[in-house]
Amino acid sequence: MPISALPSPCGIGTLGRSARDFALFLEEAGQSYWQILPICPTSYGDSPYQSFSTYAGNPYLIDLDDLAGEGLLSPEEYLALDWGADPAAVDYGLLYERRYPVLRLACGRFLSRKSRDFDRFCREHAAWLEDYALFMALKGRHGGVSWFEWPDRERLRDPETLAAAREELRDECLFWQAVQYLFFQQWKALKSYANNRGISIIGDLPIYVAGDSADVWAAPEQFQLNAQGYPTEVSGCPPDGFSPDGQLWGNPLFDWDCIKADGYAWWLRRIAFQFQICDVLRIDHFRGFDSYYAIPFGDETAKNGRWRPGPGMEFFRAVTAALGPRNIIAEDLGFLTPSVRQLLEDTGYPGMKVLEFAFDSRDGSGNSYLPHNYPRNCVVYTGTHDNDTILGWMTSAPPADVAAAKRYLRLNRREGYHWGMMRGAWASVADLAVMQMQDLLGLGSAARMNVPSTVGANWRWRALPGSFSPALARKLRREMAIYARLPVAAKKEEEHA
Residues catalogued as catalytic: 284, 331, 386
- What span, in angstroms and rounded, lies between the C-alpha atoms of 26 and 200? 11
Give the end-to-end CA distance of the chain in Å, rounded to a whole number. Answer: 30
Q: Can you state the percent helix, strand and coil of the chain, rounding each to 5? A: 50, 10, 40
Three-class secondary structure of residue 377 per DSSP: coil
Q: Give 433's strand partners.
A: 380
Distances 491 to 21, 215, 361, 414, 482 between C-alpha atoms, Å: 22, 45, 39, 29, 11
- What span, in angstroms and rounded, lies between the C-alpha atoms of 291 and 409? 35
| Amino acid type, 214 | A
- What span, in angstroms and rounded, lies between the C-alpha atoms of 29 and 394? 26
335, 238 contact by CB (below 8 A): yes
Pairing of strands 233-237, 247-252: antiparallel
Three-class secondary structure of residue 436 per DSSP: coil
Distances 271 to 252, 255, 319, 320 between C-alpha atoms, Å: 19, 17, 8, 11
Pairing of strands 233-237, 351-354: unpaired
State phi, psi for 329 to the nearest 5 degrees: -105, 130
Q: What one-character-per-residue DSSP string does 142-198 give? A: TTT--GGGS-HHHHTT-HHHHHHHHHHTHHHHHHHHHHHHHHHHHHHHHHHHHHTTT
E strand or H helix that includes residue 248: strand 247-252
Residue 156: CB atoms within 10 Å: 14
Return the closest-CA partner of residue 241 out of 380, 352, 365.
365
Instruction: Name the H helices within 333-411.
Output: 338-347, 390-396, 399-409
- What span, in angstroms and rounded, lies between the C-alpha atoms of 102 and 99? 5
E strands, 337-453, are 351-354, 378-381, 432-434
- What span, in angstroms and rounded, lies between the C-alpha atoms of 221 and 219? 5
E strand or H helix that includes residue 22: helix 17-28
